[in-house]
Amino acid sequence: MCGIVGAVAERNVTPILLEGLRRLEYRGYDSAGIAVINPDTCLDRVRRVGKVQALADSLQQTPLKGSTGVAHTRWATHGEPSESNAHPHICNQQVALVHNGIIENHTELRNAQQANGFHFTSETDTEVAVHQIEYYLNQTGDLLEAVRLAVKDFDGAYALGVVAVKQPGRMIATRSGSPLVIGVGIGEYFIASDVTALLPVTRRFIFLEEGDIADITTESLTIYDKAGNVVEREIKESNLSADATAKGEYRHYMLKEIHEQPLCLTDVLEGRIHEGEVIDNSFGPKASEVFERLKQIQIIACGTSYHAGLVARYWLEAITGVPCNVEVASEYRYRNPVLLDDTLVVTISQSGETADTLAALRGIGDRAWKLCICNVPESSLVRESHLTLMTRAGPEIGVASTKAFTTQLMGLMLLMLAIGKHRGLDAERRHAIIEAAYQLPGQIENILSASDQIEQWADAFTDIDNAIFIGRGTLFPIALEGALKLKEISYIHADAYPAGELKHGPIALIDSDLPTVAVACNDGHQEKVKSNIQEILARGGEVYLFADESLDMSELGDNCHVMPLPSVSAEMAPIVYCVPLQLFSYFVAIRKGTDVDQPRNLAKSVTVE
């Protein structure tokens, strides 16, 4: 989703802004732009549709120079990707602004501003923001006051970076509903949508809170909370190095992140197990009390994180006996759901900023305990939850989630075990599951080093338009996730079904042009999956089956291609089986020549509805 960078310094900030934009490319965008206040105290701006590289090429032709500036990558919401819709937006050559989020009352504001003589050059909701600020700047003569008054007129979500030619060396930054961090340098300050943009210039960050407004110059930083009081916000040191977001030897971030999974899974376990038991405090100081008292669990998430929640429901209900619902946040937030007493709401999110998940969490108010499984410690979801478990996957740059997903699963496995301890899950079973969890990194390494067969299978998918994925039990959500990965990065339409549902409709689709990808582990459902595969084969379908190496699939014949996977317990299977499906989508996408790390139309952090 859109990315913001801004800087106030003594030096030329254009290279810093440009590098920041490159580092935000992973968020997804379709145009990019930079505006700086030049040494003659005028605004200079360059905007381009397409990649940041196109902007960089233009800057070679028309270099920009200035020590105060803002920059943006735009993911179109209101108005097509075009130069005139790209940010920064400028009003009367006086104020430049970059914006993430959506100003929902933009039509009303636009009508009022047009009546006041403001001229519009874009179709965006954002342009009303820059006009409103310029309007108040004319009245008050002070940029901070102008932003403070303007944001009172906005309904919706925003993170803003604003500069004005009459106040060079100053930038106002504010957020409500969209994330924004301030990077603290020596005699210089920066802003960005996330820390990765600023790692080459600083590792010291302040995470603005909802409604904060920051008045930033080279000499000073003053932050006001939403009530207008001056507040001190802690400076946090990031342990990420500037090359934490480098691709290294890999051709794509996605491939790098797939290969990082064994290490990431080890990191999830690190320091959270003592004498074969999950330490409750890994979730926060009050966790034991909550786990003891809870009567039901409600999981809320979106996309891949929702699939992790679906797996967790199988685990939680089957192993701990605690009733568990799972729902996509975009539905949950609007349907006035019933929450029983003593419910634990679990949100799952890589970014911790997903607008729907955050809104669903906020809608719950104080009616439940809130636990968040997340990859970004300073994110809004984490800050607004009572209990948290960080997945420690490190920055995930590929838009299609891989290591974030497997680490979420491992986090949910720890949650299941911690709750199970309070629910009579016997110690022997708990220890066996933990023992099996420690084996996972090695087993996944084995799959990663034997990917040739998966690569060969990918050839058969290069020219197809549709595919079906099937699985049963905990592997049904993995089939959903496999189908999502294929759709996202190869643009092949793929649907996933519980294998038992095929005969209730989807089997009508089966013919020799529609391949099926199936997953089967040794969980007691294998014979049923085999029967479902037989039904597909009998109708001329071709099947690509990832199956536990201990299962005999020979009777399925030549039209069922089988790739054996390491024998793992039923509990561990989802974490292992998603890995070959990730690789499979990756290899198909490579053959199709798509933009694997930044697939079309997608955004990494979905901070608008």
Q: Which residue ranges make up the site for ligand F6R (CB under 6 A)? A: 302-305, 349-351, 354, 357, 400-401, 484, 488, 605-606
- 10 Å Cβ neighbour count for 61? 7
Cβ 305 to ligand F6R, closest distance in Å? Answer: 4
The whole-angstrom separation of Cα 408 and Cα 583 is 18
Indicate the residue among 178 and 305 with the shorter CB distance to ligand F6R: 305
Among the listed residues 570, 540, 269, the one whose alpha carbon sits nearest the alpha carbon of residue 406: 269
Cβ 155 to ligand F6R, closest distance in Å? Answer: 23
Contact 74, 30 (CB under 8 A): yes
**Secondary structure (DSSP) of 423-492:** TT--HHHHHHHHHHHHHHHHHHHHHHTT-HHHHHHHHTTTT-SEEEEEE-TTHHHHHHHHHHHHHHHH--
Indicate the residue among 416 and 484 with the shorter CB distance to ligand F6R: 484
31 three-state secondary structure: strand
Cβ 51 to ligand F6R, closest distance in Å? Answer: 21
The whole-angstrom separation of Cα 257 and Cα 250 is 9
Q: Hey, which residues are catalytic here?
A: 2, 604
Indicate the residue among 55 and 302 with the shorter CB distance to ligand F6R: 302
Contact 556, 532 (CB under 8 A): no
**Which residue's C-beta sits nearest to ligand F6R?**
303
The whole-angstrom separation of Cα 85 and Cα 47 is 9
Cβ 401 to ligand F6R, closest distance in Å? Answer: 3
The whole-angstrom separation of Cα 132 and Cα 153 is 8
The whole-angstrom separation of Cα 258 and Cα 447 is 11
Contact 196, 23 (CB under 8 A): yes
Sheet (strand 296-301) strand order: 324-328, 296-301, 343-349, 369-374, 387-390
Cβ 402 to ligand F6R, closest distance in Å? Answer: 8
Indicate the residue among 109 and 483 with the shorter CB distance to ligand F6R: 483
Indicate the residue among 343 and 402 with the shorter CB distance to ligand F6R: 402
Among the listed residues 215, 210, 264, the one whose alpha carbon sits nearest the alpha carbon of residue 445: 264
Cβ 10 to ligand F6R, closest distance in Å? Answer: 37
Indicate the residue among 569 and 594 with the shorter CB distance to ligand F6R: 594
> What's the token pair of residue 314?
């199988």
Indicate the residue among 67 and 401 with the shorter CB distance to ligand F6R: 401
Among the listed residues 83, 67, 89, the one whose alpha carbon sits nearest the alpha carbon of residue 32: 83
* Distant-in-sequence, close-in-space partners of 38: CB < 8 Å, separation ≥ 6: 44, 64, 65, 66
Cβ 73 to ligand F6R, closest distance in Å? Answer: 17
> What's the token pair of residue 377?
């410690």
Indicate the residue among 77 and 559 with the shorter CB distance to ligand F6R: 77
Cβ 511 to ligand F6R, closest distance in Å? Answer: 29
Buried b (16+ CB within 10 A) or exposed e, 356-384: bbbbbbebbeeebbbbbbbbbebbbbbeb
